[in-house]
Chains A and B, each alone.
Chain A
């Protein structure tokens, strides 16, 4: 008995010692700067403290890209163009560029002062190398679809084409170290805007090949040519950007340092903001009531539109009156103002206002106005008519929805409104994590689906092609010949700009006004708190940020 107890005691003690030893890991390399709300450091250095929602998925230009990856990349690496404070396209590492008369050949003259952090200039070959890598089957970028307008890109991605995987056929060429030439398939007017996306950023062949599998995994496996450099990256915990003194436009960068720390909970983020640990806090709807009157409360609109897909594979939803009734029967204003409360605006459109300006100065939105904006009474009339045509009294639809709190409440709200205003309708909500939801949508295994779309460039086709009958994302059996005709033409024929826009307006009217193929919900906004001394924080419509022009004025 004594012997047994001694073993027990010894092992317990040993275990405790082992665990005590482990603790050191948590305390490693504490920052020397003192982090207080008043910023003890701020006298000499301008430091911005931010929260991030999770680990950076990838810093490869051909890696999986979410808002966070893209935010970090566009602050540490620079491509041919970037988006400015007002989402306008401005030059990145180029001095100038030329477009041929037919709009099919672009020649970019690179800025010789745009250097990588290893001292080498950013060359035309860095682009050629990175772009071909993004399209090669072994290293294909999830966003390779953006290469579509470039000559040869679609064939290289098509397994049935003889050119499959032959990246050398891509219409891109380094004429000399500082001159890059790109051939397009179609003269898309938005090509320079497309180039602001990180999937078109350069990678220096020499450095990347040297790093092999390790490329972009740690701070030491990356080089930078942007306004900032990544100097610290503790995974899933914190990372630091510091001003790149060798950046060609260094004089316009004011911040010395940006510290990101991973914060996985909105309440925590708000608490950290209150104690001054961070300078910007993103708000979810439950916190908006508390802060909406504060001077530090800000909202911005995203280029993201949400809508209800109505699956016409389902017989009852083939009836246009039923679809129109659903679109009209619920209060979109209230959903934006009382449920979302984050600056979102109610949508009676797919192409949102302020997105595209026509050559004559008008907004694309003006011609169609609010589509299908009717009263509950009108909706009920249409509903009754639809029910009579179908010869039924009651309908039950399953509504696919997102699983986050905010969008859950919107789905609940829609359900209540529709069931209240359309007698005989029952809605069953089916919440799914996004990946699973997309699978069900793509298989058309749903009746109604709360869905969304975000554009890459400012052109109406970005939203409208989703519903082309042979499009990859038309998950609802919508088919209209005139619609298809317009969209097909709009993607290849750019000769008559005004005429093209007019036709696209017609297409939007067919989609929503005539057919009610979808019920637009809202254009998403986002709300955040920003400390008054933080100026010029640039929130882009695509949920990314640029810190190049951000300053701290205390």
Chain B
């Protein structure tokens, strides 16, 4: 197990370096310069470039960047004069993380409930109802859903704030808008898994032994149906990262997503690099954690060359 984790970690670092390198060179192929402005002449642009070290050959800039990166220095933004990339990410990431985590947790819990209910009440009104909700959640784009929520709940009914991020009540609408997709995905998945598990022989055996229905569901059915859910949690978390971008914009939430897009549009190289690396690190980490969790919860997966043999 230790060896496995160690080698996965090595791959992580390598992937990270590859991403850093590709992003750096691709980013510099973007047309335009951060100092393009209607009013700046070529000579003035050259002066600005010099001020920020952009006049050096790309390779030199690349190794300088890597050196700084190792020292934990992500550089200084061009669009926000004098502000460090670390502080730009630091100021915004907390909000994005809370919003993303809240949506993931709320969405997963609700999705599981819907999925279980649908499976247990298979082919009833409850089943169809849950699945209609799930299909709607999957098919309505989150910006449409967010806009509708904002208008109806915020403006017309005035139950919740229209926008901004100044307390828990401000986070409810954006969370719902983001979680809809999670609820739908998890519910559909859970329903199918439960139906599958409930048809297995060991469930029939357990029933025959006279086990209480609630215990049967929790101990025997649910536990086995949960395993595949872990696999989709990783990709779901990643899709939330992109989802927050739109939702943050609509609800005027000071998160990282919008800043990322803006930095690309303004050729703010240090911020593009910083945010890309941050997102990729997060993504790689999720994949890593999911891999580890997988080994931990599924007894059928065993690694060769270490640990005890599975017996079940």
Chain A contact residues, CB within 8 Å of chain B: 1, 4-5, 7-8, 11, 16, 19, 22-23, 25-27, 30-31, 54-55, 57-58, 60, 63-64, 137-140, 142-145, 157-159, 213, 215-217, 234-238, 261-265, 267-268, 271-272, 274-275, 277, 432-440, 442, 452-454, 472-473
By a CB distance below 8 angstroms, the chain A residues around B296 are 4-5, 7-8
* Inter-subunit contact B105/A235 (CB<8 Å): no
B44 close to A (CB within 8 Å): yes
* Binary contact track B113-133/A, C-beta < 8 Å → 1, others 0: 000000000000000000000
- Given A58-B81, A216-B82, A261-B164, check contact A140 B48 (CB 8 Å): yes
- Given A58-B81, A64-B81, A436-B30, check contact A236 B259 (CB 8 Å): yes
B43 close to A (CB within 8 Å): yes
By a CB distance below 8 angstroms, the chain B residues around A261 are 164, 252
Q: How far is the CB of A143 from chain B (nearest CB, A)?
A: 7
* Inter-subunit contact B147/A267 (CB<8 Å): yes
* Inter-subunit contact B38/A272 (CB<8 Å): no
* Inter-subunit contact B150/A271 (CB<8 Å): yes
A-B contact pairs, 15 of them (CB 8 A): A8-B297, A26-B170, A55-B80, A64-B81, A142-B44, A143-B39, A236-B91, A261-B252, A263-B163, A275-B158, A435-B33, A435-B267, A438-B32, A442-B36, A472-B42
Q: How far is the CB of A165 from chain B (nearest CB, A)?
A: 10
Question: In the complex, A142 Cα to B94 Cα: how many Å?
Answer: 32
The 10 A-B residue pairs with the shortest CB-CB distance, nearest first, are A472-B41, A58-B81, A435-B32, A237-B254, A63-B81, A439-B32, A438-B36, A436-B32, A236-B254, A19-B101
For residue B266, which residue of chain A has the nearest CB?
A435
For residue B299, which residue of chain A has the nearest CB?
A1
By a CB distance below 8 angstroms, the chain A residues around B50 are 137
* Binary contact track B84-105/A, C-beta < 8 Å → 1, others 0: 0000100110110110011001
Question: In the complex, A453 Cα to B163 Cα: how many Å?
Answer: 34
By a CB distance below 8 angstroms, the chain B residues around A262 are 252, 254
Question: In the complex, A529 Cα to B286 Cα: how many Å?
Answer: 46
* Inter-subunit contact B82/A5 (CB<8 Å): no
- Give the residue of B47, B150, B166, B170 whose beta carbon is less than 8 angstroms from that of A157: B47
Question: In the complex, A57 Cα to B259 Cα: how many Å?
Answer: 12
By a CB distance below 8 angstroms, the chain A residues around B150 are 267-268, 271
* Inter-subunit contact B163/A272 (CB<8 Å): yes
By a CB distance below 8 angstroms, the chain B residues around A139 are 51
By a CB distance below 8 angstroms, the chain A residues around B163 are 263, 268, 271-272, 277
* Inter-subunit contact B154/A271 (CB<8 Å): yes
* Inter-subunit contact B79/A57 (CB<8 Å): yes
Question: In the complex, A272 Cα to B252 Cα: how many Å?
Answer: 11
- Given A145-B40, A436-B32, A472-B42, check contact A267 B168 (CB 8 Å): no
By a CB distance below 8 angstroms, the chain B residues around A140 are 44, 47-48, 51
* Inter-subunit contact A271/B151 (CB<8 Å): yes
* Inter-subunit contact A263/B252 (CB<8 Å): yes
* Inter-subunit contact B155/A54 (CB<8 Å): no
Question: In the complex, A354 Cα to B136 Cα: how many Å?
Answer: 55
Question: In the complex, A452 Cα to B297 Cα: how many Å?
Answer: 61
B190 close to A (CB within 8 Å): no
B293 close to A (CB within 8 Å): yes
Question: In the complex, A93 Cα to B45 Cα: how many Å?
Answer: 32
By a CB distance below 8 angstroms, the chain A residues around B293 are 8, 11
By a CB distance below 8 angstroms, the chain B residues around A236 are 91-92, 254, 259
* Inter-subunit contact B38/A30 (CB<8 Å): no
* Inter-subunit contact A26/B39 (CB<8 Å): no
* Inter-subunit contact B44/A157 (CB<8 Å): yes
* Inter-subunit contact B252/A264 (CB<8 Å): yes
B265 close to A (CB within 8 Å): yes
In chain B, positions 231-277 with a C-beta closer than 8 Å to chain A are 248-252, 254, 258-259, 262, 265-267
By a CB distance below 8 angstroms, the chain B residues around A64 are 78-79, 81
Apart from A58-B82, A438-B38, list 5 A-B contacts with CB within 8 A.
Answer: A145-B44, A217-B82, A268-B250, A275-B162, A473-B41
For residue A140, which residue of chain B has the nearest CB?
B47
By a CB distance below 8 angstroms, the chain A residues around B168 are 23, 26-27
* Inter-subunit contact A268/B48 (CB<8 Å): no
- Given A274-B155, A438-B32, check contact A265 B250 (CB 8 Å): yes
* Inter-subunit contact B299/A4 (CB<8 Å): yes
